[in-house]
Each structure stands twice: as C-alpha cells, then as structure tokens.
C-alpha cells in the first residue's frame, strides 16, 4: 500500500518543476545556449553521471509503501481471507532492493570485510572452560568454512565477478545508446562509434561513458560483496554501515534541493520587487532581510526544532509511524534552512534589478505604459535567471554540509533517520576507543565528499556558462 510522505510529494513536485524548466529552456536561446555549453564540458559530463547515480538512489528511497503481509493458511473448516493485510512498517523501494543488507544485523561492531566481531566476548568451550575471544559473525563471511584461508580468495573471486557483470551492463547500455543515436542521425552504427571516438566535440560524451563504466563496475562489485560481507563494517548496534550510507543519500539530496522550494520564491519575488520598485518597497524589504540576517542562524534553527519536538511529544497520536515523524522533522528543517538562506540571493537580485531598471529597453517599456507585472516577467526575470541558476547550484553543496553540521550538534534530522550527519555524530564517541572504530566516519565522509565534489565541479561549469562576463571566454 503506497504511502506518500511530505518530502516525497515535494520531491516529485521539484522534478516536475525541473522538467518544466528544461522544456522552457529548449525554447529560449538565452537559456539553451549556456546549457549546451555545460553539456560540452568534460568536467560537467563526469559530474552529471555521478550526480545521476546519487539522484537515482534518492528517488528509489522516495517511494514508500506498507509491505503486504503474507496470508496465513486458514485452519480446517475456516474460510480463506481474501482481503490483503499490510504491515504498519513503512519501507521504500530502496529498502526492498537492499533487503539482505537491512536484515543482516550483527551484535555490535565489526570491521570492513571482517568475519569476527570487533570486540571480545566470553565464549564457553566444549570442555566447559570460558575464554575471551572474537566470536564469528552471524552473516558476514558466514558461508566460509575457514575464514583465515578462504576469505581473500572469495573476496577476489566476487570482485572479478562484479567486474565482469559491470562490463557487461556497461557494454549493453553503450550499444543501446549508440544504436538509438545512429538511428536518429540516420547514420550507420560504425560511423557513430567512429565519431564518438575521434571527434573533439564528443569529448564530453567520452568522459561520461568512462565515468559510467567506473560507477557501474563499482556498483556491481559492491553488490556482489555486500551480500556476503559487511564491506564497510557495522556500527554499535550491528547495522550495516554500507546500508546506512546509501540510505543517507536521500536525506542529503532532500536538504540540498527541497530547501530551494522554500527560499527561491521569496528571494526572487522580493529581490526583484526591491530593485524594480525602489523607494518604500525597497526600504521595507531591506529592513526585512537585514533583520533576519542579524539573528544567528543556528539559534533560530535550534529554537524551531525544539518547538517541533515539543509539538510532536504532545501530539504523538497524529503520527502513524516513526518514519512519518522523522519525515516531518526533515521537512521542518528544510523550511527553516530556506527561511534563513534566501537573503543572499535576494540581495544579488535586488542589485541586478536596480541595474536592469535603468536599461533603455526597460525605460522605453515604462514610457509606453507596459504593466509592471508584464515588464518584470518579460524583461527583468529572464535577465536575472543566470544569477538564480548559479546561486542554486553553488548553495546545494553548502546545504548538504549544513545537514551534517546540524546533526552533529543534535539539531538536525531525527536521530532515527539515516543521514551522514547522524553517522558522524554517532561515530565521534567511538574515535576514543582502542583500537579505533573509524569506518562509520570514513563511510559518511566518502559518500558526502563524492556528492559535494561532483556538485561543486558542476557548479563551476554552470557559473562559467551562465555568467555573461565569462561566457565569451569560457
């Protein structure tokens, strides 16, 4: 039974907005040409492939439902129940796909690719004596008869199998794309392959193809190894860290994208109004964002989260599951981050609108009596979209990092929700152990670093393409 959370609905609204903007951009050269320049960049091509993988995982984790319970066999003489029954648990398509990882829990810590627990336990021997040793894991490497002898060859064999599967999947996908491209261009398949290999204009596509190969190979190798081992270890309660890292992708993407739904309308409308109308309107809007900037953002977020926690504690019967409770807190965090982050874009748009208002074509339109709303929509807004695009792409990585910092100080997402910030927060106390438990922190850092790096590389290309001062030299 399908369950639509608040953030799920907003994610699909955002996808619809992006698709609508893409359709709009194809019909207007001043937007289409910069995006074509982005598409010709090799750096942007590689970054887009990495971001697409992250987005695909996040979308799989954004389709939630109640799993159907298995029908019980009726007793003799009883009529069978045809009405399906559903569990109260809320899971996603990603949970269903990663079900082996979700269910393979150990007692406590285990290192990456380990076959024994990380801590010693009292173990009773067949002769009745008790010794302290590292017990075998229930799932990690459980298929091995002699872990000391068989683990390395088994890992090597699984890696080679994943490598072959990744190469097969990449080859099939590449053949399909090249075949469709040759059919659309009315060329032979050999001509299309030769064009992709040799023409300088296809350099970005070559980078995208090789980046896709790396991502597919790594994905298939991880899939082969994850069902046999905990490839990134387990945490204090025995949950697979690789599963936690994949589940945290949605949280980072939601923080980085849904916040724009909150801050974008206020920043665009108020920024353009302040620069276009000037006078009293400009004074009021400046006073508004100056006052908001004077409030420490962390204190404002902490106060808002505290009020939400009090509300949820007093109205616990309104939430059917912990997932819905955690989702409301995530949505509220996006709203607060949006409220505190729109002022920078508003200032930029105000300054640009002040300059555009004095342009000759705008003054001519005012003299001819064109309505303000039509003038703003036709002349002001299209000429500030490059600032909006640059700011949104650059702010994405900052918002992803903000979630990690806020969760680290316990004012971020709900502790029951998987996020890189919660992983770092839970791992910081384990850094004082001897020997040190490092894999939870390393996993969160690695996944977050890859996402932020890809976003920053894409942001640099988008900035160079949309900035009019750099467009001629990029």
**How does DSSP assign 414-440, residue by residue?**
-TTS--HHHHHHHHGGGGGSSS---HH
Residue 89 resides in a domain: no
Q: Which two tokens stand for residue 364?
A: 């001519």
* Phi, psi (deg, nearest 5) at residue 282: -65, -40
Q: State whether residue 154 is helix, strand or coil.
A: helix
Residue 123 resides in a domain: no
pLDDT string in tens for the chain (474-residue length): 788 888 888 888 888 888 888 888 888 787 788 888 888 889 999 999 999 999 999 999 999 888 877 765 555 555 555 667 777 788 899 998 998 888 888 888 899 999 888 888 887 777 777 788 888 888 888 888 888 888 999 999 999 999 999 999 999 998 888 888 778 777 777 777 777 777 766 788 888 999 999 999 999 999 999 999 999 999 888 899 999 999 999 998 998 888 887 888 889 999 999 999 988 999 999 999 888 888 887 788 888 888 888 888 787 777 777 788 888 888 888 888 888 888 888 999 999 999 988 888 888 888 888 888 888 888 888 788 778 877 887 788 888 888 878 877 777 888 888 888 888 888 877 877 777 888 999 999 999 999 989 988 888 888 788 766 555 444
Cα–chain-centroid distance for residue 43?
20
Residue 134 resides in a domain: no
Alpha-carbon gap, residue 94 to 200, rounded angstroms:
39
What per-residue confidence (pLDDT) applies to 344?
87
Q: Is 416 exposed, middle or buried (0-12, 13-18, 19+ CB in 10 A)?
A: exposed
Residue 96 resides in a domain: no
List the CATH number of the domain containing 446.
Answer: 1.10.3720.10
Alpha-carbon gap, residue 338 to 334, rounded angstroms:
6
- Residues 341, 441 within the same domain: yes
Q: Which two tokens stand for residue 177?
A: 């794309």
Residue 442 resides in a domain: yes
- Residues 363, 406 within the same domain: yes
- Residues 202, 247 within the same domain: no
Domain endpoint, select from 202, 226, 250: 226
Task: Identify the domain containing residue 392 by its residue range.
Answer: 241-471
Tally of structural domains, the chain = 2
- Residues 304, 452 within the same domain: yes
- Residues 442, 320 within the same domain: yes
Q: State whether residue 89 is helix, strand or coil.
A: coil
Q: Report DSSP state, residue 64.
A: E
CA-based radius of gyration for the chain: 27
Helical axes 147-185 vs 203-226, angle rounded to 10°: 150
Q: What are the pLDDT digits (tens) for 125-152?
A: 777 777 888 888 888 888 888 888 889 9
Domain endpoint, select from 226, 257, 278: 226
- Residues 221, 333 within the same domain: no
Alpha-carbon gap, residue 440 to 430, rounded angstroms:
9
Residue 122 resides in a domain: no
Domain endpoint, select from 226, 258, 281: 226
- Residues 176, 319 within the same domain: no
Alpha-carbon gap, residue 109 to 429, rounded angstroms:
13
If we measure between CA atoms, which residue out of 271, 346, 333, 327 comes closest to residue 297?
333
Q: What are the pLDDT digits (tens) for 439-453?
A: 999 999 999 999 989
- Residues 211, 292 within the same domain: no
Residue 9 resides in a domain: no
- Residues 222, 293 within the same domain: no
- Residues 261, 152 within the same domain: no
| pTM for the predicted model, two decimal places | 0.87
Residue 109 resides in a domain: no
Tell me the pairing of strands 64-65 and 91-92.
antiparallel
Contact 45, 211 (CB under 8 A): yes
- Residues 437, 290 within the same domain: yes
- Residues 333, 382 within the same domain: yes
Alpha-carbon gap, residue 148 to 247, rounded angstroms:
32
What per-residue confidence (pLDDT) applies to 73?
57
Which residue(s) pair with 116 in the sheet? 136
């Amino acid at each position: 039974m399908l369950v639509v959370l608040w953030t799920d609905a907003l994610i699909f609204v955002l996808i619809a907005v992006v698709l609508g903007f893409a359709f709009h951009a194809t019909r207007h050269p001043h937007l289409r040409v910069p995006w074509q320049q982005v598409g010709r960049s090799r750096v942007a091509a590689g970054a887009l492939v990495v971001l697409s993988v992250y987005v695909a995982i996040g979308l799989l984790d954004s389709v939630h439902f109640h799993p159907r319970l298995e029908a019980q066999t009726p007793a003799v003489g009883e009529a069978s129940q045809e009405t399906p029954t559903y569990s109260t648990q809320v899971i996603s398509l990603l949970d269903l796909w990663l079900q082996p990882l979700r269910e393979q829990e150990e007692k406590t810590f285990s290192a990456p690719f380990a076959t024994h627990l990380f801590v010693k336990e009292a173990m009773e021997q067949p002769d009745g004596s008790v010794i302290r040793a590292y017990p075998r894991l229930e799932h990690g490497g459980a298929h091995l008869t002699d872990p000391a002898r068989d683990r390395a060859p088994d890992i090597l064999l699984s890696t080679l199998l994943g490598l072959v599967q990744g190469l097969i999947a990449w080859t099939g996908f590449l053949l399909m794309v090249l075949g469709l491209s040759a059919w659309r261009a009315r060329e032979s398949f050999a001509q299309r392959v030769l064009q992709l290999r040799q023409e300088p204009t296809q350099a970005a596509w070559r980078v995208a193809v090789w980046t896709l190969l790396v991502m597919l190979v790594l994905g298939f190798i991880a899939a082969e190894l994850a069902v046999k081992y905990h490839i990134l270890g387990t945490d204090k309660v025995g949950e697979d860290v690789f599963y936690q890292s994949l589940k945290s992708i949605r949280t980072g993407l939601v923080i980085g994208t849904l916040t724009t739904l909150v801050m974008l309308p206020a920043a665009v409308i108020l920024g353009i109004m302040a620069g276009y109308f000037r006078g009293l309107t400009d004074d009021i809007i400046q006073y508004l964002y100056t006052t908001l900037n004077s409030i420490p953002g962390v204190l404002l977020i902490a106060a808002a989260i505290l009020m939400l926690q009090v509300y949820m504690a007093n109205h616990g019967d309104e939430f059917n599951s912990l997932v819905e409770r955690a989702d409301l807190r995530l949505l509220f965090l996006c709203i607060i981050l949006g409220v505190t982050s729109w002022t920078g874009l508003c200032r930029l748009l105000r300054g640009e609108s002040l300059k555009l208002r004095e342009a000759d074509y705008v003054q001519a339109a005012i003299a001819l009596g064109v309505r303000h709303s039509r003038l703003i929509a036709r002349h002001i807004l299209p000429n500030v979209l490059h600032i909006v695009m640059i700011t949104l792409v650059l702010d994405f990585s900052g918002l992803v990092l903000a979630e990690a910092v806020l969760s680290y100080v316990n004012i971020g997402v709900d502790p029951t929700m998987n996020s890189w910030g919660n992983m770092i927060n839970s791992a910081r106390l384990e850094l004082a152990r001897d020997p040190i438990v490092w894999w939870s922190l390393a996993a969160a850092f690695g996944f977050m670093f890859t996402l932020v790096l890809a976003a920053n590389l894409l942001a640099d290309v988008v900035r160079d393409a949309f900035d009019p001062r750099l467009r001629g030299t990029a």
